[in-house]
Structure 1
Amino acid sequence: MLKELSENWNKYCREENFIGIGSTRKVFRVDEYVIKLHLHILGYEQSKNELHIYRAMAEKGLHELFAKVYYVDEIISIQKYYQPLELKNHQSFELDKNDEAQLLPNLYEEVLDLLDKDFDCFDLKDSSNYGMNKQGKLTFIDYGMSKSLYTNSWVPLAEAGIIPQIDFDVCRICERKRELRMYGDHDQDKRCYSCGKE
């Protein structure tokens, strides 16, 4: 199946398989896999970082806390699928180790520290970066953004309106408060993804 997905990914990256979108990657589910389609070169850099981190964590025996990365090229990456955490009020939220204590796997704090010190990882407390494993514990599913990549590449591109920032506001079409993809300070098109703004 992995060979089929990597060679014929465009056959599977269709709206009926769509499960999420960020500023640099769009995600599609196919059975127990996800295909992350790189929307920008930064998405490719994030996917390469995830592959590197997964392999390093596997060497330390910590790979069970991470979605396995099976394949990465310039266009896509393929990972194991995990059920994403539910949104609160249609948006992601920052994890609180007291509120979500029952969801945290063993060694969670140690792994966060490793990701910070050894891999320069950024934004790892946002709920959108996690899925749930079969034991009901959090699993890292989006862990490829580094502080240096964010500061040196993502921020200038977002400020220039080349890649979107995520804002939480009322969509002018469905009139629901949702996460909106906004391209720079002068973008006035307040539509959510469901109402047609990619």
Structure 2
Amino acid sequence: MLKQIIQSWDQYCRDENFIGIGSTRKVYRVLDYVIKVHLHPIGYKQSKKELEIYTSMVDKGLAQLFAQTYYVDDFISVQKYYKPLELKNNQTYEVKDEENQCLIPNLFDEVLEILDKNFDCFDLEDSSNYGLNNDGKLVFTDYGMTKSLYEKEWVPLAEEGILPQIHFDFCSVCGLEKELRMYGDNDRDKRCYNCGKE
């Protein structure tokens, strides 16, 4: 099945399979896999970093804390699927809050330190970067953004309005307060993703 997904990935990337979107990648679920479609070259760099990190964590005996990255090319990456964490009040949250302690797996702090020191990883405590394994523990699913990539490439493009930043506000169509994708300071389109704004 993995080979088929890689060869015919675009056939699986349909609305009914859509599960999430970030500023640089859009994600679809196919059975026990996710296809991350690169919306921007930074997304490709994130996917390559995830493959590098996962391979390193296998060697360290820590792979169980990460969604396996099976494949990366210019257009997509394919990873193992984990159920995403639910939003709270239509927004993401810090996973290390006291109320989430039951979700934290063993060696979590040790892995965060490795990711920081060895891989320059950035933004690893936001709930949107995790899934839950069968034991109800956190698994890293989005772990390829580095501090240098963020500061040198992502921030300038976000400031120019090329890549979206996330702002918590009321959608002008459905009226719900939720995370909106905003493209620069002059973006006045306050629709949420569900109401048509990518």
- Name the TM-score, length of structure 1 as normaliser: 0.99
1:98 Cα deviation after fit: 2.5
Q: Provide the alpha-carbon RMSD of the alignment.
A: 0.6
**Where in structure 2 are there 5+ consecutive unaligned residues?**
none
| Residue matched to 1:24 | 24
| Residue matched to 1:178 | 178
- CA–CA distance in structure 2, aligned partners of residues 100 and 171 of structure 1: 28
| Residue matched to 2:157 | 157
- CA–CA distance in structure 2, aligned partners of residues 44 and 115 of structure 1: 19
CA displacement 1:15-72 (0-9 Å, x = unmatched):
0000000000000000000000000000000000000000000000000000000000
- CA–CA distance in structure 1, aligned partners of residues 11 and 63 of structure 2: 30
Contact 1:27/1:37 (<8 A) preserved:
yes
| Residue matched to 1:141 | 141
The within-5 A match list for 1:83-122 is 83-122=83-122
Give 3-state SS (helix, strand or coil) of 1:99's partner: helix
Give 3-state SS (helix, strand or coil) of 1:153's partner: helix
- CA–CA distance in structure 2, aligned partners of residues 23 and 145 of structure 1: 11
CA displacement 1:66-92 (0-9 Å, x = unmatched):
000000000000000000001000111
Contact 1:121/1:145 (<8 A) preserved:
yes
1:97 Cα deviation after fit: 4.8
1:8 Cα deviation after fit: 0.5
- CA–CA distance in structure 2, aligned partners of residues 14 and 178 of structure 1: 24
- Name the TM-score, length of structure 2 as normaliser: 0.99
Give 3-state SS (helix, strand or coil) of 1:47's partner: helix
The within-5 A match list for 1:180-195 is 180-195=180-195
Contact 1:70/1:78 (<8 A) preserved:
yes
Identical positions, percent: 65
**Where in structure 1 are there 5+ consecutive unaligned residues?**
none
Q: Quick one: which amino acid aligns to residue 161 of structure 1?
A: G
- CA–CA distance in structure 2, aligned partners of residues 18 and 128 of structure 1: 15
- CA–CA distance in structure 1, aligned partners of residues 194 and 98 of structure 2: 33
- CA–CA distance in structure 1, aligned partners of residues 184 and 85 of structure 2: 28
- CA–CA distance in structure 1, aligned partners of residues 167 and 26 of structure 2: 17
Contact 1:97/1:104 (<8 A) preserved:
no
- CA–CA distance in structure 2, aligned partners of residues 136 and 195 of structure 1: 31
| Residue matched to 1:196 | 196
Give 3-state SS (helix, strand or coil) of 1:136's partner: coil
Cα gap change, 1:91 to 1:61, in 2 (>3 Å): same
Q: Quick one: which amino acid aligns to residue 56 of structure 1?
A: S
Cα gap change, 1:97 to 1:175, in 2 (>3 Å): closer
Q: Quick one: which amino acid aligns to residue 142 of structure 2?
A: D
